[in-house]
Structure 1
Amino acid sequence: MSARKQAVLDAIDAANAKDPNIDNDQPEALLYGSRMSAELDRLFPDASDELQIAARGQHIERWKLARSEYPDGRAGYLAWRKAQGVHHADIVMSLMIQNGYSGDQAETVGRMLRKQGIKRDAEVQALEDVICFVFLKWYFQPFAAKHSVEKIRGIVEKTARKMSAEGRARVLSEFELPADLAASFQN
């Protein structure tokens, strides 16, 4: 691993270690970043440096933009998600520039973190597939325990729509889903 990539990953981890929210005895954002990197390594072992950095920085300092500061409902949620993407991109791009990456390389990561190019850009799509796998592997069951069957079904359908055909096929081969939820991942 290059020294500059390691420096960026270390800076992301240092920022995320300050997350006041704890999950599994670790700061939530730090744990999420390590899960993203592990899942990226498993699903896309030949990922570019830019994709590796984007995966680790996906939730950098996520706690700093509270959902409660945005209006209730879908429009407020989408505004919060968009603001999060811009926030994550700005921080990670700055860390990359500070550590010797070019503006073009930083902007590539910024596009990934802002989700610009889902279904059109292979690396943006790979990042989205990793995000979905991390959600399904570590966050879906706790989420499902708190919500209605209808809401769960809707979230699963939205998750499947964001994924590539290859990602959906892997979900079906790696997860045991009830038939009604598995149907969302079938091509």
Structure 2
Amino acid sequence: MKDTPFYNASQWIDAENAQDPNIEIFESVSYPKELLYSNRMYKKLMEFYPKASEEIQIASKAQHICRWKIARDSYPMDRVGYLKWREDLKKFHAKTTAEILEKAGYDSHFIARVSFLIEKKLLKKDEETQLLEDVICLVFLEYYLNPFVHKHDLEKMKNIILKTWNKMSDKGHQEALKINYSSSNLQLIKEAIGL
């Protein structure tokens, strides 16, 4: 329905992500990278858990909002730098989304909950944080695993897959095994998780 807070917030999140200068080509069409990611997140959430609350629907769309504005190489290129970058990104995504939600007319309780989810607080303890993490992992496995495979060696890939797997719930695991992988990637996943 048009002109609801949800509709307006979704449109504004899309408008922000549409400004991404990084382009990704999918099925011969060019997309701003973070707009494509946002659409994949939302679609996957609604397939995986159609009863998702409005808060988590917004959090899924805004998971990487304006991510290109904080470059990885603006931090030290080591593990500590990587973790600090990731932590700062979560806060930045939450703050950027909160400003949009306030403009859309959401109350402070709703905005705080969306920020909580975007910052992935209480993973494994909060059901919706876990649901969001499952969706993030499913989107990674379906759309971003293949490019990673071409960039990293076998052992590094197994490690990445295992870390991804360990963040997911049992329901997430079941869904992940339904994805249509290439036979080599499916074999890699099975080896990584010990199936």
The TM-score range, normalised by the shorter chain, is over 0.9
Distance 1:43 1:170, change over 3 A: same
**Pairing 1:35–2:6 present:** no
Provide, for residues 97-142 of structure 1, a one-character-per-residue CA deviation record: whole Å limited to 9, x for no partner: 1111111111111011111011011111111100011101111101
Offset, 1:184: 4.9
Answer yes or no: is the 8 Å Cα contact 1:54–1:112 preserved in 2.
Answer: yes
> Where in structure 1 are there 5+ consecutive unaligned residues?
none
**Pairing 1:101–2:106 present:** yes
> Where in structure 2 are there 5+ consecutive unaligned residues?
none
Offset, 1:185: 4.9
Percent identity between the aligned chains?
40
Provide, for residues 64-99 of structure 1, a one-character-per-residue CA deviation record: whole Å limited to 9, x for no partner: 000000111211111111111000000111111111
**Pairing 1:74–2:82 present:** no
**Pairing 1:51–2:35 present:** no
SS at match of 1:23: strand
Distance 1:45 1:126, change over 3 A: same
Q: Kindly report structure 1 stretches of 4+ aligned residues shifted beyond 2 Å.
A: 172-187
SS at match of 1:26: strand
Distance 1:103 1:90, change over 3 A: same
For residue 115 of structure 2, what is the aligned residue in structure 1? 110
1:140-155 correspondence runs (5 A):
140-155=145-160
For residue 130 of structure 1, what is the aligned residue in structure 2? 135
Q: 2:190 aligns with which of 164, 171, 182?
A: 182
> Residue type of the partner of 2:170?
A
- Whole-angstrom CA distance in 1 between matches of 2:61 and 2:194: 29
> Residue type of the partner of 2:35?
L
Q: 2:173 aligns with which of 144, 151, 168?
A: 168
Answer yes or no: is the 8 Å Cα contact 2:16–2:65 preserved in 1.
Answer: yes
For residue 12 of structure 1, what is the aligned residue in structure 2? 13
> Residue type of the partner of 1:166?
K
Tell me the TM-score normalised to structure 2 length.
0.90
* Cα RMSD after superposing both structures: 1.6
Tell me the TM-score normalised to structure 1 length.
0.94
Greater mean deviation of Cα atoms: 165-174 or 54-63 = 165-174
